[in-house]
Amino acid sequence: MAATQKEIVDGLAEIVNEIAGIPVEDVQLDKSFTDDLDVDSLSMVEVVVAAEERFDVKIPDDDVKNLKTVGDATQYILDHQA
Amino acid sequence: MSSTNRTVVVTGIGATTPLGGDAASTWEGLVAGKSGAKPLEQEWAADQAVRIAAPAAVDPSEVIPRPQARRLDRSAQFALIAAQEAWKDAGYVGKAGESPAEDGAAHVDPDRLGAVIASGIGGVTTLLDQYDVLKEKGVRRVSPHTVPMLMPNGPSANVGLAVGARAGVHTPVSACASGAEAIGYAIEMIRTGRADVVVAGGTEAAIHPLPIAAFGNMMAMSKNNDDPQGASRPFDTARDGFVLGEGAGVLVLESAEHAAARGARVYAEAVGQGISADSHDIVQPEPEGRGISAALQNLLDRNDLDPAEIVHVNAHATSTPAGDIAELKALRKVLGDNVDHMAVSATKSMTGHLLGGAGGVESVATVLALYHRVAPPTINVENLDPEAEANADIVRGEARKLPVEGRIAALNDSFGFGGHNVVLAFRTV
């Protein structure tokens, strides 16, 4: 069953918490991975791989650069999840 | 004094070792004659010929926050912990050039600050763990942090970033001489005017099935699995190889002028280094200690050091049959009767052998031996090798007081596979 928006944001929050140590409640739709959440380019790759696994979705490298905010990633997963 | 021959002093020390999570607890363990060796209880150890090691007393995961730790190889974690202790100990706070003036922190121009941290093997656990990930979980799961974690300059670069070093960040690699070579390199950076302050030392994290199997198959490690704490026994007739240790030791080195200008506490003078290469064999020590003698001679030729002042030697002495004696023969050959008043200690009997970390940790031990005027013991010497007895005065069993008055000096020997020989000299101020 496809994940809801809330489930995706909660899942991304757990992933970002694990990788960057940011409190889960700080991971909100409007937050930028780089500017707000301490996720640099290498860690973004980790976030993407973890999200792929969790939400059963493929996120090609070319699409990763468009995922600036948690909202961008959430929408991408909503649109592409199996 | 000219910019090419400046005096260098030690103003900060830090360590995380099998004996303790900082320099003070490590020193306490050394003076008390404690062993950091233990049985290896991991599942992978069951079919190893060597099932003992000396792990860090405080796991770095207890010190470094997880998000930071997961992008640092264990060797870089040790280096960072020891470097931050040394940095703080020297009176510095945060990155050079960024500490607020009102908090009383010492100041150093980042363009005059260097970092030289070495390891013998680099990020070997990262390399091997990520290869397991590749095989078991596939290409996509290999960590994007793998390269900066496994590169041998990773510890140096991370320490350089932590303190804000811009004068140069370096990583000399010479197996088990690496840590000492790093400190020697740092002394030269300051002496020749390239930097005013350099954070320098060695680190290693190689307690992993592959290095254990490989060193074991070389017959380099002790197989005294039934008695881990008695296994590392330099200069004893029953010595059968080293015990692998892990951790890091770091010094803050500083030009004497820079230290004096800010009123820094000075532990000791870092007099200089002597260096040579055996050109004999890729792993076997030259049996008469010819290369070691050359390094000692090089030290005396290039530095203003009176052998009569040398009262203590922190020997390389790893507890291998050939190496321990070659070192003592070289001391006798070059320093002659002066060796009679030198208290020779093999601290690897307690810490195990930290490979590239050894020169760092043993420099910390040597500096503290001068500062406290106490030579730590060599433990586990039940039957002193007659060749050791004939050549040197080994501090056995218990720590020994060094002369309480006057200027005294001490040496720290480090030698590495490949025939690298480094001797560092320190002196009271």
* Segment B183-228, tens digit of pLDDT: 999 999 999 999 999 999 999 999 999 999 999 999 999 999 999 9
Asked if the Cβ–Cβ distance from A49 to B70 is below 8 Å, we say no
Average pLDDT, chain B: 96
Nearest to B140 among A19, A38, A49 (CB): A49
User: What pLDDT is recorded for position B172?
Assistant: 98
For residue B65, what is the nearest residue in chain A, using CA coordinates?
A21
Question: Phi, psi (5° rounding) for residue A30?
Answer: -85, 0
Assess whether pLDDT exceeds 60 at residue A60: yes
Annotation says B312 is catalytic: no
In this prediction, residue B2 carries a pLDDT of: 46
Its pTM stands at 0.96
When pLDDT is cut at 50, 70 and 90, the band that residue B169 belongs to is very high
Q: A with B: how many residue pairs have Cβ under 8 Å apart?
A: 24
Does the pLDDT at position B3 exceed 60? no
Neighbours of B44 (CB within 10 A): 12
Q: How far apart are CA B44 and CA B291, in angstroms?
A: 38
- Residues B122/B154, Cβ–Cβ less than 8 Å: yes
State whether B141 and A42 contact (CB < 8 Å).
no
Local confidence band at A6 (pLDDT 50, 70, 90 cut-offs): very high
Cβ contact B39:B228 at 8 Å: yes
Give me the half-sphere count of Cα atoms (radius 13 Å) on the Cβ side of residue B185. Answer: 25
Rounded CA-CA distance B356/B121 in Å is 7
B residues 329-388 near A, CB within 8 Å? Answer: none
Residue B103 pLDDT > 90, yes or no? no
Task: Kindly determine whether residue A46 and residue B144, on different chains, have CB atoms separated by under 8 Å.
Answer: yes
Out of B176, B258, B312, B420, the active site residue is: B176
Q: Output the six-digit token pair for B419.
A: 């025939």
Contacts of A38 in chain B (CB under 8 A): 67
Q: Report strand pairing: B113-118 vs B38-39.
A: unpaired
Using alpha carbons, list the distances in angstroms from residue B150 to A70, B44, B125, B162, B202: 31, 22, 8, 18, 16
Question: Is A20's Cβ below 8 Å from some Cβ in B?
Answer: yes
Do B389 and B332 touch, CB atoms closer than 8 A?
A: no
Distance CA B124, CA B130 (A): 10
Q: 129-168 in B: which are within 8 Å (CB) of A?
A: 140-141, 143-145, 148
Q: Please indicate whether, in this complex, the C-beta atoms of A42 and B67 are within 8 angstroms of each other.
A: no
Q: Closest-CA residue in chain B for A41? A: B144
The one-letter code for the residue type at B307 is P
Chain B: closest CA distance from residue A6 (Å): 24
Residue in chain B lying closest to A44 (CA): B144
Name the 3-class secondary structure at B256. Answer: helix
Q: Which residues of chain B make contact with A27, given a CB cutoff of 8 A?
A: none
Chain B touched by A57 (CB under 8 Å): no
Residue of B nearest to A38 (CA): B67
Task: Report helix, strand or coil for B377.
Answer: coil
Residue-wise pLDDT tens digits, B233-267 = 999 999 999 999 999 999 999 999 999 999 999 99
Can you tell me the mean pLDDT for B289-303?
97
Q: Which segments of B164-227 does DSSP mark as H helices, in order?
A: 178-191, 209-217
pLDDT at position B5, please? Answer: 86
Among B66, B143, B148, whose Cβ lies nearest the Cβ of A46?
A: B143
| Residue B155 pLDDT class (50, 70, 90 cuts) | very high
SS3 B223: coil
Structure tokens that stand for A71 in this block: 């909202």
Largest CA distance in chain A: 33
- Residue B300 pLDDT greater than 60, yes or no: yes
How close are the terminal C-alpha atoms of chain B, in Å? 17
In chain B, the residue whose alpha carbon lies closest to the alpha carbon of A58 is B140
Q: How far is A81 from chain B (nearest CA, A)?
A: 18
**Residue B58: is it exposed, middle or buried by C-beta count within 10 angstroms (0-12/13-18/19+)?**
middle
